[in-house]
Amino acid sequence: MRLRVLILALAVSPAAFSQEEPTLARRGDLGVRYWLSTGETKRSHNAQVLFPAAGNPQSVLLYENLDANVLELFGRQNFRNNLFLKGTLGVGRINRGSFDDQDFDAGQVLTDHTTSSVTGGSIGYGTLDLGRQWVLRDGAVTLGVFGGFTQWTEDMDAYGATDHMGTIGPISRNTLVISNKVVWQALRVGFAGEFVFGRRTRLALDLAVAPYAKVRNEDSHHLRGDLGQVPNIVLEGEGWGVQWDAELRHEIARRTELGIGVRYWHMEITEGSRELPNIPSFPDLPLVELYSTRFGVTLSLRRTW
């Protein structure tokens, strides 16, 4: 037992690494990251142009508590002229959640309210950024700015319905009620920095603003034959967003780092419209709100050079 403890102590002690000081400035890295998160997507529209007695918003749809597991590949390459290129590619599964559907009359009087179960779905995203960095204090501080592009997609199914108002009656939990797919595409500008603490630990920040984002949200109401083939309601709009990451990294072996962090993403529209693609004569209705948010913790393993 004592021998095992001694071997473990040697394995994790600085003396077990190369006796050289760790290189603070990196030429690049490549790794894998796990993201455990929860999220939501909310949208609503104003139908008063057609139905003056409707509320504003008239219909509010909320997908919430969307717990997901994502596996992500990421990398970065620094160049001699202080430019760098970095990117991520992630895919994962939405495990569970709920779908809340509410309708309102004028004065925001609630007329219909149902809740369904989100039993699964998928999430996928990618980012690509080009930037310039400044290495300060012999590599102890690295500051950078970048610009790039991101795409973020979530796709999910909701089953059954609990009728809280008694207007339509319950729907079996085995019945597919609605599917939703939301795709955000956005430009990114931001700050990337690394700050070294001690010999083998560093804090990395990646703070991006999306000054321009566009979205396409597709609703497939599977029980609404009057709306035609799915997707039978499409929402499109333009807006903005933020994508923030903070990660604490520690060198567990020569040129190998383990990281733990937090991540927050949010995209929302500033204007948009709702249309029925199978009913061209139906006028587009203005969106009141459409946003997607996701927040969680990350765990990464990377190899640097």
Residue 2 lies in a domain: no
Give residue 58's pLDDT: 96
Q: What is the pLDDT of residues 201-239, one digit of tens each?
A: 999 999 999 999 999 999 999 999 999 999 999 999 999
The pTM of the whole model exceeds 0.85: yes
12 — pLDDT class (breaks 50, 70, 90): very low
Residue 16 lies in a domain: no
Residue 286 amino acid letter: P
Give residue 138's pLDDT: 85
Q: What is the pLDDT of residues 103-134, one digit of tens each?
A: 999 999 999 999 999 999 999 999 999 999 99
Greatest Cα pair distance in the chain? 80
Neighbouring C-alpha atoms within 13 Å toward the C-beta of 105: 5
Give residue 201's pLDDT: 96
* CA-to-CA separations, 211 to 102, 148, 208, 289, in angstroms, rounded: 31, 11, 9, 18
* CA-to-CA separations, 291 to 40, 174, 271, 279, 304, in angstroms, rounded: 8, 28, 11, 25, 36
Give residue 25's pLDDT: 57
Hey, what's the torsion of the CAs at 167, 169, 173, 178, to 10 degrees?
-40
Q: State how far the Cα of 132 lies from the Cα of 140, in Å rounded to an integer.
A: 17
Give residue 178's pLDDT: 97
Residue 116 lies in a domain: yes
136: pLDDT strictly greater than 90: yes
Secondary structure (H, E, C), the chain: CHHHHHHHHHHHCHHHCCCCCCCCCCCEEEEEEEEEEEEEEEEEECCCCCCCCEEEEEEEEEEEEEEEEEEEEEEEEECCCCEEEEEEEEEEEEEEEEEEEEEEECCCEEEEEEEEEEEEEEEEEEEEEEEEEEEEHHHCEEEEEEEEEEEEEEEEEEEEEEECCCCCCCEEEEEEEEEEEEEEEEEEEEEEEEEEECCCEEEEEEEEEEEEEEEEEEEEECCCHHHCCCCCEEEEEEEEEEEEEEEEEEEEECCEEEEEEEEEEEEEEEEEEEECCCCCCCCCEEEEEEEEEEEEEEEEEEEEC
Q: State how far the Cα of 303 lies from the Cα of 197, in Å rounded to an integer.
A: 19
For the chain, percent of residues with pLDDT exceeding 70 = 92
Q: What is the pLDDT of residues 239-263, one digit of tens each?
A: 999 999 999 999 999 999 999 999 9
Residue 17 lies in a domain: no
Residue 14 lies in a domain: no
**Tokens at 255, concatenated:** 């040129």
Q: What is the pLDDT of residues 44-62, one digit of tens each?
A: 999 999 999 999 999 999 9
253 strand-pairing partners:
256
**Tokens at 101, concatenated:** 């559907």
21: pLDDT strictly greater than 60: no
Residue 18 lies in a domain: no
Structural domain including 290 reads 29-304
* CA-to-CA separations, 216 to 41, 56, 120, 236, 297, in angstroms, rounded: 12, 22, 20, 5, 27
Residue 9 lies in a domain: no
CATH number reported for the structural domain that contains residue 206 in this entry: 2.40.128.90
Q: Read off the pLDDT of each residue in 275-299 and give the average, rounded to a whole number.
A: 97
17: pLDDT strictly greater than 80: no
251 strand-pairing partners:
257
Residue 12 lies in a domain: no
Domain count, the chain: 1
